[in-house]
Amino acid sequence: MRIDGEYDDGLIDGLIATAQSLCLTILRKEEQDLAGDEPQLKTAVFYAVAYLYEHREEADHKGLALTLRALLAGLRREEF
């Protein structure tokens, strides 16, 4: 994200929590259900954090959810 300084640390911490929650919701899983270090999940969380940070004012949440769903398709549960 190319951020210098610590002035946005609180915001970024919140965005990380939001991105993780969003990805878990899309996966239809709880954190304890994860097998370990899934690279697709890590990529999706990084993407979501960067997207939400860069588009704070005008984020397209539906578009973000569709992109994350595509990134996480291989890990996603069929049903709840």
Give residue 27's pLDDT. 93
Q: What token pair was written down for 48?
A: 């979501």
Residue tagged 């860069």 (tokens): 54
**Rounded distance, CA 9 to CA 58, Å?**
21
Tens-of-pLDDT digits for all 80 residues of the chain?
677 778 788 999 999 999 999 999 999 988 888 877 789 999 999 999 999 999 999 999 999 999 999 999 988 877 75
pTM assigned to the model: 0.84
Rg of the chain on CA atoms, in Å: 13
Domain residue extents for the chain: 9-71
Give residue 80's pLDDT. 59
Q: Are 2 and 27 in contact (CB under 8 A)?
A: no
**Rounded distance, CA 27 to CA 40, Å?**
11
Select from 36, 33, 23, 35 the least CA-distant residue to 73.
23
